[in-house]
Amino acid sequence: MKAGARAAAVAPREDLGVRNIVLSVKAGSVFDLVDLAARIPGAEYSKRGFPGLILHISRPKCAALAFSNGKLIVTGLDNVDTIAPSLSAVLEVLRTAGATIEDDPPARVVNMVLSGSLGAVVALLQVVIATNLERVEYEPETFPGLIYRSETGPVVLVFASGALVVSGAMSVDQAQAAAAEVRHMIDTAGAWGSNPRPRPGPSDFLHTHKKSGAEDRMSRSAGPPG
């Protein structure tokens, strides 16, 4: 089968699903983390450990890091529709505990992780041979996936099974654009295979795969925002 025919088997745009959204919010001028930790049930804070207050919100389910400079990192969102209600829930917890919160503080998406499938197996080595190596990293002896640094910004993990994990996107459209680059790259390389045998999907990888050096290099920390 020719590469063009194999490309037709690639999954549609909707096949990419959001797994995590990370927000950055300037919510106030200063937070007394010791006081907030004492007032908020379940909050975690240690002066000698992580410099932020850790909050766990049940509805909608998410987590937040509050820093003394008034900034927040909200994470654990799995749908863009939950951005507003999740932020409102975090701010309400802080207000109830006595924190001074700005009116309607703007939230900025700083990272989105999406996963999905291309719908066909991929000959990763063939992709590497035919592709600009500046954007591609493939070290199968240490990590089973190909790492692609897209022109649009996100980093894409591509597995031989056709599974994809997109990280570093600021929007779903940007993630889809990065996935489209991958599809075009594989098509150009003529590296499409046949329909894949059942294998662990990207969700299994995200939850169970032990971190390798390649993953660490593409990981983004949620440390204190500047």
Q: Element (H or E) spanning 130, and its range?
A: helix 124-130
Query: Do 92 and 162 share a domain, yes or no?
Result: no
Cβ atoms of 95 and 103 within 8 Å: the answer is no
Query: Do 166 and 209 share a domain, yes or no?
Result: yes
Q: Which domain holds residue 82?
A: 28-104
In-domain check, residue 223: no
Q: What number of other Cβ atoms are within 10 A of residue 159's Cβ? A: 22
What is the gyration radius of the CA atoms in the chain, in angstroms? Answer: 20
Query: Do 13 and 78 share a domain, yes or no?
Result: no
pLDDT of residue 58: 93
> For residues 49, 92, 24 and 175, what is the CA-based torsion angle, rounded to 10 degrees?
120
Query: Do 134 and 208 share a domain, yes or no?
Result: yes
What pTM did the predictor assign?
A: 0.78
Q: Tell me which of 104, 123, 154 is where a domain ends.
A: 104
Query: Do 213 and 180 share a domain, yes or no?
Result: yes
pLDDT of residue 51: 92
Q: Element (H or E) spanning 95, and its range?
A: helix 83-96
Q: Tell me which of 54, 88, 104 is where a domain ends.
A: 104
Domain count, the chain: 2
pLDDT of 4-60, one tens digit each? 444 444 444 448 999 999 999 999 989 999 999 999 999 999 988 899 999 999 999
Where residue 48 falls (left for φ over 0; alpha for ψ -120 to 50; beta otherwise) is: alpha
CATH number at residue 148: 3.30.310.10
pLDDT of residue 47: 81
User: Residue with structure tokens 């049940």?
Assistant: 58
pLDDT of residue 48: 83
pLDDT of residue 194: 57
The residue ranges of the chain whose pLDDT is under 50 are 1-14, 195-200, 204-205, 207-222
CA distance 56 to 45: 12
pLDDT of residue 226: 52
105-108 long-range contacts, CB within 8 A, separation 24+: 105/25, 105/26, 105/27, 105/28, 106/25, 106/26, 107/23, 107/24, 107/25, 107/74, 107/83, 108/23, 108/24, 108/25
